[in-house]
Amino acid sequence: MLYRPMPKTGDELSILGFGCMRLPMNGGEIDQDRAIAQIRNAIDNGINYLDTAWAYHHGASEPLLSKALQGGYRDRVRIATKLPTWLVHDRADMDLYLNTQLERLGTDRIDYYLVHSLDGHSWDRISALGVGEFLDQAMRDGRIVNPGFSYHGLPEDFARIVDAHPWVFCQIQYNYLDQEFQAGTAGLKYAASKGLGVVVMEPLRGGNLGLPTPPPAVAALWDQAPAKRSPVEWALRWVWNHPEVTVVLSGMNEEAHIAQNLAIAEKALPGSLTGEELDLVDRVRTTYRELMRVGCTGCAYCMPCPAGVQIPKCFDFYNKMHMFGNEQEAKFMYAAFTSGLTSDGNTGFASQCVACGECVEKCPQGIAIPDMLAQVVADMEGAGFEERLAGVRQYLKRELK
Ligand code: SF4
Ligand code: SF4
């Protein structure tokens, strides 16, 4: 295992972190024996960063991790978990969740504590509720060691959140396709320039970049590489090639995946891919982009829409469905993120577009936004849409329990 230091503290973290969001299941519940064995095996092989959250597995991930870390494992690792921002209504809620998490995890301190899933809007809200003072207080009394945040917002809101608090680290989505999405490369470099460690999530874009059978045009490119690597290895090595990256999280729930990722992590020094190899990854990226239905980069210059349409989100899930073929997942995620059920309650469906045209001239990609939104409506809001919305409500109700 290779290790990289957290810039502000020098804490040596394994470059591969174990994500506890997608643990192995059996009969609708976490397969406890298997999950515990996997986590302990990962630690025995050098992983020392374990990432969970209040919401993962409807609240069952943190207690499972507590069990896995009994028998001397707790002292060998750093635990990362997250404040469920969207459930917090006042300052007292923050202590309530943190204290419950300490109990769930069977520990007296959270080594890396993140304000979960921020964007510009949720940061403004939780900041006004006093999250900065909460983090400072929890650090003073020892419940939190290092404060951080995870980010799912627009590129332009990232830097102001980095600058708003003395964070030690942040967590961003990053992979070779998402270089301009959310924080992106600019955000990675900005955070590093401010001395923050960067934990990367979604290095395989929800597993899609690691599919053993990629689209034929992509497979043909990988076949040209002088070094034969799996799609998973190309995707992970590309992220680790960046010296600004501290830890890469992988949600591993198959023993074979853990072994594969551990082996890849052995070789992943920063700057270890050749120029030729980086060019090849760029060509794969271009090919995936050609498979996209809409050339939207997620820049959000078209926003806000006076009718409330979440234009970049609409195009993101629409593209995902056509690029990777995970139709059910893409449609469910579209329903979850445009319904407002997971955020501020305001809907942003493509079908809200009244074709006023206000967004069109703001788009640097020259996208005929109203026309493309009509296609999104046809594909994503057709048959079964009401049932998917009901499914999202049901999912969130379980999470709130
Ligand atoms: S054309 Fe549609 S998406 Fe664009 S600003 Fe008008 S209502 Fe919003
Ligand atoms: S539609 Fe255009 S302006 Fe809007 S996010 Fe996409 S690329 Fe940017």
Q: Where are the domains of the chain?
A: 3-290, 311-400
Atom from ligand 1 closest to the CA of residue 355: 1
């043909």: which residue's tokens? 220
Q: Whose CA is nearest to atom 3 of ligand 1?
A: 353
Which residues approach ligand 1 with their CB closer than 6 A?
Answer: 305-307, 309, 311, 353-359, 369-370, 373
Q: How far is the CA of 313 from the centre of ligand 1 (A)?
A: 14
Name which of 141, 65, 142, 80 is nearest 115 in CA terms: 80
Q: How far is the CA of 295 from the centre of ligand 2 (A)?
A: 8
- Please indicate, yes or no, whether the overall pTM of this predicted structure exceeds 0.75: yes
The answer to whether residue 328 scores a pLDDT higher than 90 is: no
The residues, any chain, with a CB within 8 Å of residue 209's CB and separated by 6 or more, are: 175, 176, 177, 203, 231, 232, 235
Please give the Cα distance from 370 to 367 (Å, whole number). 9
Of 5-9, 250-254, 286-290, where does mean pLDDT reach its minimum?
250-254
The two three-digit tokens of residue 42, written as one number: 């990962």
Q: Whose CA is nearest to atom 3 of ligand 2?
A: 363
Q: Whose CA is nearest to atom 7 of ligand 2?
A: 296
Taking the CA atoms of residue 360, residue 364, residue 368 and residue 372 in that order, the dihedral angle to the nearest 10 degrees is -110
Q: Whose CA is nearest to atom 6 of ligand 2?
A: 296
Output the pLDDT for position 376: 97
CATH classification for the domain delimited by 3-290, as one of 3.20.20.100, 3.30.420.40, 3.30.70.3420, 3.40.920.10: 3.20.20.100
Q: What are phi and psi of 28, to 5 degrees?
A: 85, -5
When pLDDT is cut at 50, 70 and 90, the band that residue 130 belongs to is: very high
The answer to whether residue 170 scores a pLDDT higher than 90 is: yes
Q: How far is the CA of 382 from the centre of ligand 1 (A)?
A: 20
